[in-house]
């Protein structure tokens, strides 16, 4: 798939595959019936009524959790979330195994457990989520620790100008300028839709950058590194804008989300 993409991940990152990436953006030719057959979901079409939407999304989320092909990300789900991963498999982390490291140009590097993060003051925000490929999910609660709090705790050195995010999927990266990272609407999120973040949504901890396209919100967050300059992230090396403001980047004019 996507063999016409010379710099695609299949080429430089053999451990990745294309199926679950931004499918709309890549005009994937995979047919719906093939997907439904693959997943044994042939009856899915009859449960698309709006009242069942929540159940359907929950079902797709749990199906994505167990889906080694990542093809659940291509299933239509009536305007809800789509599940993306650029890595073919992602280890599961829980309260015993999860760690978040803050390092780089800081006075006090440190590592947080999930319990450490839960013990800090939590901020809850309810805003729309907007993917650069077009789908939008209105009024989605996210809750977690303000990134600015973790930066202050680490003591950012004057030479730092940017923040780089790494993920325990081993592949995805993102970045923000220090000014962007310090905004009050940027969270290290532990909860989404008033539940602990599921594995498929990037749990136990993901970044949530409310004012930017959702590709900024790195799932399975494991590292926060202060750097001198912004380093383009996974999708930004593949053409997405580094400053990803919803409504004024990537050639799109969506309603702002924050
Ligand atoms: N680690 C990681 N984070 C990621 C991605 C990814 O592939 N890997 N995809 C991004 C994109 S393009 C989107 S739209 C959202 C999708 O989040 P969801 O799977 O919770 O809907 O995650 C973003 N963060
Ligand atoms: Mo996206």
Close Cβ partners of 241 (under 8 Å, ≥ 6 residues apart): 249, 250
Task: Report the distance separating Cα 224 and Cα 21, nearest Å.
Answer: 23
Identify the CATH number of the domain defined by range 100-238: 3.90.420.10
Q: Write the pLDDT tens digit of every residue in 78-100.
A: 448 899 999 999 999 999 999 99
Euclidean distance between CA atoms 153 and 230, whole angstroms: 21
How far does the centroid of ligand 1 lie from the alpha carbon of residue 34, in Å? 24
Positions of CATH 3.90.420.10 in the chain: 100-238
Question: Is the pLDDT reported for residue 256 higher than 80?
Answer: yes
**Burial environment of residue 108 by CB neighbours within 10 A (0 to 12, 13 to 18, 19 or more):** exposed
* 238 Cα: distance to centroid of ligand 1 (angstroms): 15
Ligand 2 centre and the CA of 131: distance in Å? 4
Ligand 1 centroid from CA 107, angstroms = 31
For residue range 94-122, list pLDDT tens digits in order. 999 999 999 999 999 999 999 999 999 99
pLDDT of 18 above 50: no
How far is it, in rounded angstroms, from Cα 255 to Cα 65? Answer: 31
pTM above 0.85, yes or no: no
Mean pLDDT of the chain: 81
Q: Do 144 and 208 contact (CB within 8 A), yes or no?
A: yes
The answer to whether the CB of 169 is under 6 A from ligand 1 is yes
Q: Which atom of ligand 1 is nearest to the CA of 133?
A: 14
Segment 224-251, tens digit of pLDDT? 999 999 999 999 999 999 999 999 999 9
69-83 average pLDDT score: 65
How many of the other CB atoms lie within 10 Å of CB of 167?
24
Three-class SS state of 187? strand
Q: Is 82 in the pocket of ligand 1 (CB under 6 A)?
A: yes
- CA–CA gap between residue 245 and residue 257 (Å, rounded): 9
Q: What was the pLDDT predicted at 80? A: 85
Q: Is 86 in the pocket of ligand 1 (CB under 6 A)?
A: yes
């Amino acid at each position: 798939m996507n063999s016409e993409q010379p710099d695609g991940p299949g080429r430089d990152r053999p451990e990745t595959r294309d199926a679950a990436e931004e499918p709309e953006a890549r005009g994937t030719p995979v047919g719906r019936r093939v997907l439904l057959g693959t997943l044994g979901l042939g009856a899915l079409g009859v449960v698309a009524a709006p009242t069942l939407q929540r159940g359907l999304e929950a079902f797709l989320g749990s199906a994505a959790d167990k889906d080694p092909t990542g093809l659940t990300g291509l299933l239509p789900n009536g305007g809800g979330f789509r599940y993306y991963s650029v890595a073919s498999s992602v280890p599961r982390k829980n309260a015993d195994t999860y760690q978040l490291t803050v390092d780089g140009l800081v006075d006090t590097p440190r590592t947080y457990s999930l319990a450490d993060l839960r013990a800090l003051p939590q901020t809850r925000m309810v805003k729309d989520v907007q993917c650069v490929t077009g789908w939008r999910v209105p009024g989605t609660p996210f809750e977690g620790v303000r990134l600015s709090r973790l930066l202050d705790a680490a003591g950012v050195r004057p030479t730092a100008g940017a923040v780089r995010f790494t993920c325990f999927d081993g592949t995805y990266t993102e970045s923000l300028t220090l000014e962007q990272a310090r905004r009050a609407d940027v969270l290290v999120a532990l909860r989404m839709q008033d539940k602990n973040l599921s594995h498929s949504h990037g749990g136990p901890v993901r970044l949530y950058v409310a004012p930017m396209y959702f590709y900024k919100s790195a799932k399975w967050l494991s590292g926060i590194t202060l750097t001198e300059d912004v380093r383009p992230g996974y999708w930004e090396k593949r053409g997405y804008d580094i400053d990803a403001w919803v409504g004024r980047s990537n050639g799109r004019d969506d309603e702002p989300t924050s």
